[in-house]
Structure 1
Amino acid sequence: MERNPSPLPDWDRLAALDDASIPLLGTALLIARDEYPELDPGLYDVLLQQHVAHLQPKIEAIALWPLKMLAINEYLFDELGYTGNHDEYYDPRNSYLNQVFERRLGIPISLALVQMEVARRLGMPLDGVSFPGHFLVRLPVDDGLLVMDPFNRGRPLDVDELRERARPHVGGNALDDQVLQQILHPASHRAILGRMLRNLHGVYAECGDWPRAVRCADRVLKLLPDDPEALRDRGLGYLQLEHRHGARRDLGRYLLLAPDAPDARTVRESLIEASGDPARLN
């Protein structure tokens, strides 16, 4: 396979970029390179382009966007075999895009990224949706939105199912049309990449792999400087690693940015632990 020398973006420059200038594929591969330092980004760019080249004649012959999307989904999920990893959902490989391409297994957000990259290269404005619970994708159509579930082979979701999926995450209340429209708003590139990193952080924190958990929180801060949750997560990870200076800095900054957060009291106790002397907090 001919390789395309596609450079990856620089972590230290991402914060200064406007959202549209952040390369979604390149930054997702940059996340993966932390775990797979020998990763060749050009290989996956070429692989994506092969998917696009295979689909292009068929897509150009179809007039309606929902039918174009159906053809894309049939190729990705039925012919190529991309699928949600229902058996090992919390395997970190599901979030590293190189592994998603190679194993054809992923979680909703990583499968959505593959689906979005293919569709966009075919001229279709497929966006991600930071839906509560599982990440979704959306395509504008003449009579509204086509919302799909990449974790389940791109299956379309109707309004009733969307409301039922969201209900447990909004206090069990029924959603009116306005709230549902807000939830279905397109996710920015920063939001997508931040969610991928937070997923990984959760996996590593759950199993006590604090060096990797801290790395993921640190990467969120490269995209979203002073993000309160990432500061808290990195600070708590630093505390686990006995890097008390870093823990004091991050947890103190978190409390300045989010003094009324539900977990402020718990974080304050961790800050006291990191300080070693409650009087130092003054």
Structure 2
Amino acid sequence: MGDRLTLPEWNALASQADDTVPLLETALLIARDEYPDLDADLYDTLVQSHAEHLRHEIGTIEPWPLKMAAINRHLFDELGYTGNHDEYYDPRNSYLNQVFERRLGNPVSLAMVQMEVAHRLGVPLDGVSFPGHFLVRLPVDDGLLVMDPFNGGRPLGVDELRERAKPHLGGDVPDDAALLHILNPASPRAILVRTLRNLHGVYAEREEWDRAARSADRVLKLTPDQPDALRDRGLAYLKMDYKAGAQRDLARYLHLSPEANDAPAMREQLVELNAVRTSRMH
């Protein structure tokens, strides 16, 4: 028997360097919030079996893009991992145990499966926090191979990348330098925060405020004092009638982001909270 997969402690993650935060283990830690009986070893073994199935074939291939094509073929064509186009906002698409079980995910979770298998085979695949849909990138001789994990690992050309970025840049088409900047590798911490922000968005939309608060709280475990997460947790606490927590988070948010677009609305919210607490004290 190999070593059992040890999941990290939430309170230890903030002090770790961005690139040393363990991606698979922390993604499973996020999933354990919702699935407390989750067996992390099961999924570690599954990833390893995906990699082992490919090891001989990958070893006989020289160019990175062809190695990656073999990995994609196995994951997406043979094993059936696919983007959940029908229920994009199903929270299960963000929980890695469910992605492994159902072979269905969103762009970030499918990228994590791709990256984890690729890394075990020595293929340097990185995630990209592209606006809109998360992507993956592989260094090749003359630049980068960029792929879409949500659509079977399909390679994306420069023109399509520019078009995809345009709506998120106020309609401007990014030049080469801007596009390269957007295509910078995402650290494990950034990938995990994006996962949690997706979950927060889904749960806030569903008005499941305890889960929305938990998702924002987990962002703060990874990136303490992240302003948006403080605001999000504070507003979720407010919906849960946890006024002291809401007051603390919204005050901290305003301290960190006094010029934010929603700062006036948050100040108003805080004034109301303070008034309620003052009236209770009299």
TM-score range, shorter chain: over 0.9
How large is the RMSD of aligned CA atoms in angstroms?
Answer: 1.4
Return the alpha-carbon distance in structure 2 between the equivalents of residues 101 and 77 of structure 1: 12
Return the alpha-carbon distance in structure 1 between the equivalents of residues 88 and 224 of structure 2: 29
Map 1:131-146 to 2 at 5 A: 131-146=130-145
Alpha carbons of structure 1 residues 69 and 3: separation in structure 2 relative to 1, 3 Å: same
- Residue 37 of structure 1 corresponds to 36
- Residue 236 of structure 1 corresponds to 235
Residue identity opposite 1:161 in structure 2: E
SS of the equivalent of 1:173 reads coil
SS of the equivalent of 1:156 reads strand
SS of the equivalent of 1:276 reads helix
What is the CA deviation profile of residues 150-197 of structure 1, one whole-angstrom value per residue up to 9, with x for unaligned ones?
A: 000000000000000000001001111111011000001111000000
Residue identity opposite 1:88 in structure 2: E
Alpha carbons of structure 1 residues 99 and 3: separation in structure 2 relative to 1, 3 Å: farther
Residue identity opposite 2:248 in structure 1: R
Name the count of aligned residue pairs. Answer: 279
Return the alpha-carbon distance in structure 2 between the equivalents of residues 140 and 275 of structure 1: 54
Return the alpha-carbon distance in structure 1 between the equivalents of residues 86 and 9 of structure 2: 34
TM-score of the two chains, using structure 2 as the length reference: 0.97
Return the alpha-carbon distance in structure 2 between the equivalents of residues 212 and 3 of structure 1: 34
Map 1:264-279 to 2 at 5 A: 264-276=263-275
Return the alpha-carbon distance in structure 2 between the equivalents of residues 71 and 268 of structure 1: 54
1:257 maps onto 2:256 in alignment: yes
Map 1:167-246 to 2 at 5 A: 167-246=166-245
Residue identity opposite 1:178 in structure 2: A
Return the alpha-carbon distance in structure 2 between the equivalents of residues 8 and 247 of structure 1: 30
- Whether contact under 8 Å (2:93, 2:106) holds in the other structure is yes
Displacement of 1:4 in angstroms is 5.4
- Whether contact under 8 Å (1:4, 1:45) holds in the other structure is no
TM-score of the two chains, using structure 1 as the length reference: 0.97
Q: Which consecutive unaligned segments of at least 5 residues does structure 2 have?
A: none
Return the alpha-carbon distance in structure 1 between the equivalents of residues 255 and 186 of structure 2: 27
- Whether contact under 8 Å (1:62, 1:68) holds in the other structure is yes
What is the CA deviation profile of residues 207-264 of structure 1, one whole-angstrom value per residue up to 9, with x for unaligned ones?
A: 1000000000000000000000000000001111111111111001001101111111
- Whether contact under 8 Å (2:19, 2:189) holds in the other structure is no
Return the alpha-carbon distance in structure 2 between the equivalents of residues 96 and 157 of structure 1: 26
Displacement of 1:265 in angstroms is 1.2
Displacement of 1:68 in angstroms is 0.4
- Residue 160 of structure 1 corresponds to 159
- Residue 76 of structure 2 corresponds to 77
Displacement of 1:3 in angstroms is 8.0
Alpha carbons of structure 1 residues 279 and 180: separation in structure 2 relative to 1, 3 Å: farther
Return the alpha-carbon distance in structure 2 between the equivalents of residues 104 and 24 of structure 1: 19
- Residue 51 of structure 1 corresponds to 50
Displacement of 1:273 in angstroms is 2.6
Residue identity opposite 2:168 in structure 1: H
1:26 maps onto 2:20 in alignment: no
> Which runs of 4 or more aligned residues in structure 1 lie more than 4 Å from their structure 2 counterparts after TM superposition?
277-280
Displacement of 1:20 in angstroms is 2.3
